[in-house]
């Protein structure tokens, strides 16, 4: 990996950068470099070293993108894709592999990968490919969700009231994303914590509540006409204020 200059978004708009990424890579040095680059973009990043660990991570977490090596200690990474998507149908996969022949790339793409990047690669190119995947429209469902006066852009992870974009911290945006996609229903604390934190993060008992409190205040200040209501011992519920 050569250049690390690229940036996915203007840093003044980094609240949009709320992608949750799982790196499946057994080369510790490469995985560490990838994690450092992606975390500088304000993504939530987890790392596992094998297919078995990847299956467990996807079962327990809510990921948007997997960066998948092919040569893993317990097998061919491509065989993971169908199993992982059974648990998360919207999961995007970029294969990162030293196998760079045309037939290798065709096999990876035909096998279900959204993109295929040959090692060694530049960080700029990886970030550009992540941007391209994020720009692709969803196959089904709306591009925006409106609740009260609040509009949430599902493509860009951006919230606004009217034309005014809300200035939310990354984790506040993750909380809002998880709540608004299930608006009118109670969202379990465990679901919110999985959406907001990586599994290496230390989570205090009141950390999630602090993020929710700050988000609630910002929504109120913006006259978003939505409320976030605690459901004691269970989670939170977002709905319009009548």
> What does the pLDDT read at residue 181?
86
> What does the pLDDT read at residue 142?
55
| CA 180/CA 154 separation, integer angstroms | 10
> What does the pLDDT read at residue 200?
66
What average pLDDT does the chain have? 84
Annotated domain spans of the chain: 11-135, 144-240
Instruction: Specify the CATH architecture of the domain 144-240.
Output: Orthogonal Bundle (1.10)
Number of C-alpha atoms within 13 angstroms, CB side, residue 106? 3
> What does the pLDDT read at residue 68?
95
> Residue 20 in contact with residue 62, Cβ under 8 Å?
yes
Positions in the chain whose pLDDT score sits under 50: 2-17, 139-141
> What does the pLDDT read at residue 102?
92
User: Beta-carbon neighbour count of residue 50 at 10 Å?
Assistant: 17
> For residue 20, which of 43, 49, 51 has the smallest C-alpha distance?
43
Close Cβ partners of 36 (under 8 Å, ≥ 6 residues apart)? none
11-135 folds as Rossmann fold (3.40.50)
Cβ-count burial of 21 within 10 angstroms (0-12 exposed, 13-18 middle, 19+ buried)?
Answer: buried
DSSP 138: P
> What does the pLDDT read at residue 47?
94
> Residue 85 in contact with residue 63, Cβ under 8 Å?
no
Packing angle of the helix pair 123-135, 28-40 (nearest 10 deg): 60
What are residue 237's DSSP bridge partners? 186, 229
> Per the structure block, which two tokens stand in for 127?
């970030």
**Bridging pattern class, strands 235-240 and 226-231:** antiparallel
Close Cβ partners of 87 (under 8 Å, ≥ 6 residues apart)? 58, 59
> What does the pLDDT read at residue 140?
45
């Amino acid at each position: 990996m050569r250049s690390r200059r690229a940036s996915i978004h203007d840093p003044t708009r980094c609240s949009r950068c709320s992608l949750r990424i799982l790196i499946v890579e057994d080369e510790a040095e490469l995985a560490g470099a990838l994690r450092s680059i992606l975390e500088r973009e304000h993504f939530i990043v987890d790392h596992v070293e094998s297919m078995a660990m990847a299956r467990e991570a996807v079962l327990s977490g809510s990921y948007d993108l997997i960066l998948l090596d092919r040569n893993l200690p317990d097998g061919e990474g491509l065989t993971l894709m169908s199993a992982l998507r059974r648990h998360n149908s919207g999961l995007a996969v970029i294969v990162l592999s030293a196998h760079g022949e045309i037939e290798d790339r065709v096999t990876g793409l035909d096998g279900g990968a959204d993109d295929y990047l040959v090692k060694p690669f530049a960080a700029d190119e990886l970030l550009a490919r992540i941007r391209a995947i994020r720009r692709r429209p969803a196959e089904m469902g709306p591009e925006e969700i409106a609740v009260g006066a609040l509009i949430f852009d599902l493509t860009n992870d951006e919230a606004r009231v009217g034309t005014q974009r809300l200035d939310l911290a990354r984790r506040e945006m993750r909380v809002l994303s998880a709540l608004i996609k299930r608006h009118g229903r109670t969202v379990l604390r465990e679901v919110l914590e999985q959406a907001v934190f990586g599994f290496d993060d230390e989570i205090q008992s009141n950390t999630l509540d602090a993020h929710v409190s700050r988000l609630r205040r910002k929504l109120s200040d913006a006259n978003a006409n939505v409320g976030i209501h605690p459901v004691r011992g269970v989670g939170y519920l977002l709905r319009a204020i009548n």
